[in-house]
A and B are shown apart, each in its own frame.
Chain A
Amino acid sequence: MTHALPHGRATATPENAVIRKASTHINQNEGVIFEHSRPGRVGYKLPALDVEAAPIDSMIDPKLRRDDDLAGLPEVSEVDVIRHYTRISTWNYAVDYGMYPLGSCTMKYNPKLNERVARLEGFAASHPYTPDDLAQGNLELILELEEALAEITGLAAVSLQPAAGAQGEMTGLMVIRKCLESRGDARKIVLIPDSAHGTNPASAAISGYQVQTIKSSGNGAIDLENLRQVVNENVAALMLTNPSTLGMFEENIVEVCRIMHGAGGLVYMDGANMNALVGVTRPGDMGVDVIHLNLHKTFSTPHGGGGPGAGPIAVTKELESFLPFPRVVEESNDERQRVLRLNYDRPQSIGRVRAFHGNFSVLVRALCYILSLGPDGLREATESAVLNANYIAHHLKDDYEIAFDGKPMHEVILNDKRQQKSGVHTLDIAKRLIDYGFHPMTIYFPLVVPGAMMIEPTESEGREELDLFVDAMRSIAREAEENPELVKSAPHNTRIGRLDEAGAARKPVLRWKPAKAS
């Protein structure tokens, strides 16, 4: 049946279910841009060529040139382009539509001022090889952000070069390796808890380390006894996430660091969950040696449908000389004025991990966020994020099993044990949530929690949005008992249903091709 609602029209829902946040809506159909192509359509205009044109053959031999006349690119007008991408954009959910509770992803609001300042011409049109004297604004910005992140993490030095979290991990591990090499022993093994993000072991492998997985204890913490047993003179580092991917603070972090340091190893902290800690506690004070930060999580820069991000690392004083080059340094010029320079002379550096200076446009946004919040705002954001997650946990604990007893911080993990009795699984709950107007939570991660549903509301949600989410989740729990088929066949109100992903992987179609004339 349909359900009359105060706002908008009702959608297909079972008895009792009230979908308040969303209703159905005209949904534009649209092919790929290539299907709009018509010979002779044009979407651009260049200034006329103002130098005398020489015959192209005299400049580049025809055999070095393409002979397909770029036939595979479309011919479309500006209007065609605008309509096409606007239409397909409406098929996406977005933070600006509402809560995007992906656990571990920190889908917070992306401030519009950040977008504006990143587009200022002095940044956007600045060439990476601009002489230092003519790029003082950029270098100042890099230095300011490095200093701010050093203060936030409680560590001595920061490199902004890594392009994303995974590259930050790799960079951090390479720094650790270089440091240990300089002590005369690079060692072979990196310890990683079984609850870690997949990028952790992948980054360790790319840094030349063997991965030894360690089991986390019942509530997802590092098992100290186990750690004491496995750590030895072959272990280079422990890579841990704090709060853990189970959303809980590593209570024994100081002891963990002491054990590692005592055995001559270092501690790498995955900073994916820093949104629970900023302004409240600092990794450097815990004894951590290296941390990466995801500016596209904690520091509000947009995810962009999968990047760009930025994954700066912060390190202790001892590790500073191993950071990627170049580094911004302060000098004084002939007139004794302070000038900033890029210093490439870093003999101990691990080298470069990316050309130029990292994802600079992301760095501009992150600094704007930090300066807009200030110390009080940063702490307030952390507190609100943790409050919101606890609020959700409080209101869902009667309908879902909470995966771990403990003190959840900025995210809460549920499982599907109760719903499984009626054949409804985590995937089904996630898909049904879409019908209620929400993006699903992170599912089946961390791997150590069977049927995990990881919910991270962030500080960007007001109480009424949290209540809508709680209502939706409760309603789905009811549906799971009363009408499980409805949940198992969700989503119902999207333009497509669940896709046959196995089929897609068996016979991959990875590009568009024109239909063959029959």
Chain B
Amino acid sequence: MRYIPNSTQEREAMLREMGRQSIAELFRGIPDQLQLNRPLNLPAALSETEALSFFRDLAERNTTRHTGERMVSFLGAGAYDHFIPTIIDTLISRAEFYTSYTPYQPEISQGTLAAIFEFQTMICELTGMDVSNASLYDGSTATAEAVLMAERVTRRSKVALAANLHPEYRQVVDTYVRNAGITEQTIITCAETGTVLPEAILNLGSDIAAVIVQSPNFFGGVEDLQKLAEAAHKIGALFVVVVAEGLSLGLLQAPGKAGADIVCGEAQSFGIPLSFGGSYCGFFATTEKLLRQIPGRLVGQASDSEGRSGFTLTLATREQHIRREKATSNICTNQGLYALMATIYLSTLGRRGVREVAEQNLQKAHYAAQRIAALDGYQLCFTAPFFNEFVISCPKPAQEVLDELTDKKIIGGLALERFFPEMKNEVLVCVTETTTKEEIDALVEALK
């Protein structure tokens, strides 16, 4: 096997040197009855050529812009098709980054540590928060961790989640809290705007650990975070802002500035490929005051005995390998390499690029929304301002509309009925900077 350096002869020589007769001797600790005395029932080994063609065939059976049926897509809903600079893949393909372990030995892991330190800085800048961790699995689990942290901080066991939170994030929170003695409440949203109104929060009562609001919300609408933060704080709850579309932060007010106590979400938009939903990169930021309750790893600055400055994992006493069942989270491996991708993206696009991409999303999405809403029978479902996603109400069941569009090589968006049974005619449409005017016009034409 080409991944195993020692030849059979070398292995035999090693055995002899150790005074052993056979490899089987090394497995004598396994009782005979448990030894699998047959080959695994798996296909015989493929050569590199065969493996490549096997995976090419599979990949070709998926429809994307350039594979399978070759379709333009207007899907978003927590996973966004954005421009990815070539150099991200160039840099993360350096073996020093992708074939290294968690940086537990700082003297020979300074590259990873420095990059995470930059990631933490950039997340703080974008969210307007004091501290960020080194990443979590994804936006959904970051949201669940925020709920668990709020319970630890406030010692309250009830959390309130906006009805327009990403439904899969909500499902993940449901799973995480089920056995944690935490109960959930849903914050109703305004039928007209599709957003959360402060009154809905004020009506929650005074025993809520956290108010969890996503902005832009699942329907694409931008929430008035300042007003909602005030309401959440009035009832003594932490205000948690979830950001599923990171690039919206290129344009929208930093949630920290609006009064958020925790800002968490998904960094996929920062240079991470769609990859059928993963791997992505969760982020998690909070205030200085709540630092000691943050889940996951943190990188901090430190110096050696000669005064040279470097980076190291720090405040590990919160973590599972030290605190075990009393840790702030069970997370160990996180999304290190993908945090690096986001960091390289944010460096490459930089101050101007992040803003320019965000503005292109805004402009193109509004162009598309206006044109679709001008069609007979179609209208925008909600009145709130939006970033790059919006809900369209169709004149007939959304799934029928989408099926007709796929016949015309367009994936028109996400039918919302799967998550919101009452929204039979509604489609969530996403338009990013990668969608051309021509493609938008083709969608509008196909809807006619």
Contact = CB atoms under 8 A, between A and B. Distances in A.
Given A166-B330, A512-B117, A374 B45 contact: yes
Contacts of B91: 81-82, 85-86, 89
B9 to A, nearest CB: 11
Q: A60, A72, A111, A308 — which one has the most chain B CB atoms within 10 A of its CB?
A: A308
Interface string B359-371: 1101110110000
Indicate the member of B35, B55, B90, B226 with the most A CB atoms within 10 Å: B55
A95 to B, nearest CB: 4
Contact of A32 (B103, B114, B319): B114
A130 to B, nearest CB: 6
Interface in B286-328: 291, 297-306, 308-310, 312, 314-317, 319-327
Given A50-B437, A166-B332, A368-B55, A66 B96 contact: no
B378 interface: no
Interface stretch (A9-17, A112-120, A473-481): A112-120
Contact of A81 (B222, B300, B348, B352): B348
Given A303-B99, A460-B5, A85 B55 contact: no
A207 B325 CA distance: 11
B34 interface: yes
Contact of B300 (A43, A126, A504): A504
A140 B337 contact: no
Given A198-B320, A461-B5, A463-B10, A60 B59 contact: no
A344 B115 CA distance: 39
Interface residues of B, number: 206
The DSSP consensus for interface residues of chain A is loop
A152 interface: yes
B107 A137 contact: no
B334 A360 contact: no
A381 B3 contact: yes
B58 A496 contact: no
Given A44-B353, A135-B62, A380 B40 contact: no
A5 interface: no
A312 interface: no
Contacts of B442: none
A33 interface: yes
A431 B103 CA distance: 14
Interface residues of A, number: 203
B353 A43 contact: yes
B330 A199 contact: yes
A151 B40 contact: yes
B353 A362 contact: no
A505 B315 contact: yes
Contacts of A364: 55
Contacts of B324: 198, 201-202, 211
A355 B139 contact: yes
Given A129-B414, A169-B330, A202-B329, A510 B132 contact: yes
Interface string B1-36: 101111000110111011010010011111101111
A20 B406 CA distance: 62
Nearest to A378: B40
Given A110-B98, A370-B42, A387-B15, A69 B29 contact: no
Contacts of B146: none
Contacts of A116: 52
Interface in A386-424: 386-388, 390-391, 394, 406-407, 409
Contacts of A302: 98-99, 337
A374 B42 contact: yes
Nearest to A509: B301
A422 B443 CA distance: 77
A128 B274 contact: yes
B279 A361 contact: yes
Nearest to B131: A510
A215 interface: no
Nearest to A78: B87
B189 to A, nearest CB: 17
Interface in A140-175: 140-141, 148, 151-152, 154, 163-167, 169-170, 174
B424 interface: no
A120 to B, nearest CB: 4
A360 B275 contact: yes
B338 interface: yes
B81 A127 contact: yes
Interface in A239-254: 248-249, 251, 253-254
Interface string B220-264: 001011100000000000000000000001111110010000000
B94 interface: yes
Contacts of B111: 88-92, 305
A131 interface: yes
Interface stretch (A227-235, A260-268, A277-285, A329-337): A277-285
B337 to A, nearest CB: 3
A53 interface: yes
A130 B180 CA distance: 34
B4 A384 contact: yes
Interface in A364-380: 364, 368, 370-380
A352 B172 contact: yes
B135 to A, nearest CB: 7
Contacts of A308: 137, 278-279, 333-338
Contact of A305 (B27, B103, B250, B309): B103
Going nearest first, the 4 A-B pairs with the smallest beta carbon separation are A356-B277, A122-B59, A208-B179, A374-B45
Given A120-B55, A305-B336, 9 more contacts: A93-B108, A122-B68, A304-B336, A371-B42, A374-B42, A381-B4, A409-B26, A508-B314, A511-B132
16 contacts: A50-B436, A61-B385, A66-B254, A70-B355, A122-B61, A128-B78, A137-B57, A138-B62, A198-B323, A360-B277, A375-B45, A377-B3, A387-B15, A459-B4, A499-B106, A508-B291
